Amino acid sequence: MVIYKVYLDMTLVMPSLKRFKLKEYNSNFPIVFVEANSPDDACFKAIYSLVSILLKQDDSVHIRILCRQIKHDIRIIKVRAE
């Protein structure tokens, strides 16, 4: 497995995520390190990790719907193998 550096653009979703503790995702342009087999897998794991942070804090139906919506609004800028 390779460690990938995933650059994200979360400017569209940050206003709806203000009440959560987002850890490494706490900026408009976070950089996340992910261990994966391929760049596609790294992108999936980066988004899945954010969704799991949100669902651990609040597992209501409203948050599940929010997670489905924000997956389409987060833009992956670049993926690099480190």
Domain ranges, ordered by start, for the chain:
2-81
pLDDT on residue 82: 85
pLDDT on residue 28: 95
Range 34-43, long-range pairs (CB < 8 A, 24+ positions): 34/3, 34/4, 34/6, 35/1, 35/2, 35/3, 35/4, 36/1, 36/2, 36/4, 37/1, 37/2, 39/4, 39/79, 39/81, 42/4, 42/6, 42/79, 43/6, 43/76, 43/79
pLDDT on residue 56: 95
Kindly give the parts of the chain with pLDDT less than 50. Answer: none
pLDDT on residue 54: 95
